[in-house]
Chain A
Amino acid sequence: DTGVSQDPRHKITKRGQNVTFRCDPISEHNRLYWYRQTLGQGPEFLTYFQNEAQLEKSRLLSDRFSAERPKGSFSTLEIQRTEQGDSAMYLCASSLLARGELFFGEGSRLTVL
């Protein structure tokens, strides 16, 4: 069990550029979640996959955000035309059971200049 891994750990980009984050969940976990966290706040739910199906998406997620989980393994989160307000830590988590214990990666920190 190598845990949940996220890449890159840090990304600095200029406003208007596109960025993509990757998450590799624990191999036997079929549930995968993306959260966003800003300084001093708790993780904010973005979206949830069960296998390759995206079952839930936050209303806060603008159409500039898209997430995929092809083949039900790793997932990518893409942000198009980044804005300064997108600066945050993007956290990925996986779980074996619905509403069960979440295993988090170390996060991908995005800074938009």
Chain B
Amino acid sequence: SQQGEEDPQALSIQEGENATMNCSYKTSINNLQWYRQNSGRGLVHLILIRSNEREKHSGRLRVTLDTSKKSSSLLITASRAADTASYFCATDAGNNNDMRFGAGTRLTVKP
């Protein structure tokens, strides 16, 4: 079963704009991860945020985590056409040793 749900399902923006994607999950977690997937390719890890962290940055990426609301957001600043991809959040759902993924947000950045 999938643990996280991303919102929106699809997002289309112009190059240079910021993109924000949200993830909600159902049970307590140890950490939450964000991944990116280009069409027809494998997933690439972007960032991991632990349950005791509230915000994390990596380059143009900013991730926040609100465990009280069981939600996370991924912000991509100054987007580029090359950021066009699907973005997934994944959580470990407490005692599971594996990561469970949501259905993803399909981001299109128009040049």
Please report A residues at the B interface, Cβ cutoff 8 Å: 4, 31, 33, 35, 40-45, 48, 50, 55-56, 91, 93, 98-107, 109
Contact = CB atoms under 8 A, between A and B. Distances in A.
A99 B45 CA distance: 13
Residue from B30, B31, B45, B102 with most neighbouring chain A CB atoms (10 Å):
B45
Contact of A99 (B40, B44, B88, B97): B97
Contact of A102 (B2, B45, B102, B103): B45
Tell me the interface secondary structure of chain B in the complex: loop
6 contacts: A42-B2, A42-B102, A42-B103, A91-B43, A102-B99, A104-B43
Given A56-B98, A106-B42, 18 more contacts: A31-B97, A33-B98, A33-B99, A40-B103, A43-B88, A44-B2, A45-B98, A45-B99, A45-B100, A48-B98, A50-B97, A99-B96, A101-B48, A102-B35, A103-B45, A104-B44, A107-B41, A107-B42
Q: For this complex, into which size category does the number of interface residues on chain B fall?
A: 20 to 34
A41 B101 CA distance: 9
Contact of A104 (B30, B42, B98, B104): B42
Interface in B4-62: 30-31, 33, 35, 40-45, 48
Interface in B57-111: 88, 90, 92, 96-104
A33 B96 CA distance: 12
Given A42-B103, A43-B88, A107-B41, A101 B33 contact: yes
Contacts of B30: 99
Contacts of B2: 42, 44
A42 B41 contact: no
Contacts of B92: 99
Nearest to A40: B103
